[in-house]
Amino acid sequence: MDADAANLPTLRPHEFDGVSIARSRVVAYNSSLLVEPYRAGWGGLYAAPIEHLYWIVTYRGVARAWGVHDHTIDRYSAVLGLIDVALYDGRANSTTAGQFSVVTLDSELGEGLYIPAGVWHTFRARSETVVLMNSKSPPYDPAHVDKTLGPLPTALAEFDWPD
């Protein structure tokens, strides 16, 4: 196996049905880290086309509202800092329906998370400042918004972040 092939980004299944955790290629570079999550032909977290790309900058302790999509997939990547992502499987036909999970993404490890439609999700910053990048498919369409923020399932209203 050549050296480049040994360092390809990896994608491993999460405990939730259809959710995957990615680890990108990370290279020590000039007293810094170069994170290389995508190159044509690599697959992994970015195997499907990216149709909408944005990042969110937020600060320690700030948590976003819970949301879920009917058709859209989210691909969260930690660009800076440690980011806790909470998941709740709201899909009735899933093998993990009704379950919670919290995943911590670390930018220095080049980590990302594939979140399929039907999985409720939120995130909070564990570091002083975090940057989360989301690579969505399909893109946001203001005429047909595919995001539900409420009403929340009872289990989500009672959710408390672990320490």
Q: What is the pLDDT of residues 56-100, one digit of tens each?
A: 999 999 999 999 999 999 999 999 999 999 999 999 999 999 999
Number of domains in the chain: 1
For residue 5, the 8-state DSSP code is H
Cα separation, 67 vs 134, in Å, equals: 14
Enter the pTM of the model.
0.88
Q: Does any domain span residue 82?
A: yes
User: Which tens digits make up the pLDDT trace of 134-147?
Assistant: 999 988 888 888 98
Range of the domain at 108: 3-39+48-157
Amino acid at 77: S
Q: Does any domain span residue 55?
A: yes
Q: Does any domain span residue 163?
A: no
Domain CATH code at residue 120: 2.60.120.10
Q: Does any domain span residue 30?
A: yes
Q: Does any domain span residue 112?
A: yes
Least confident of 14-18, 39-43, 90-94, 132-136: 39-43
Q: Does any domain span residue 58?
A: yes
Predicted confidence (pLDDT) at residue 29 exceeds the cutoff of 60:
yes
Cα separation, 36 vs 29, in Å, equals: 12
Amino acid at 106: D
Q: Does any domain span residue 29?
A: yes
Residue 84: how many CB atoms within 10 A of its CB?
17
Q: Does any domain span residue 162?
A: no
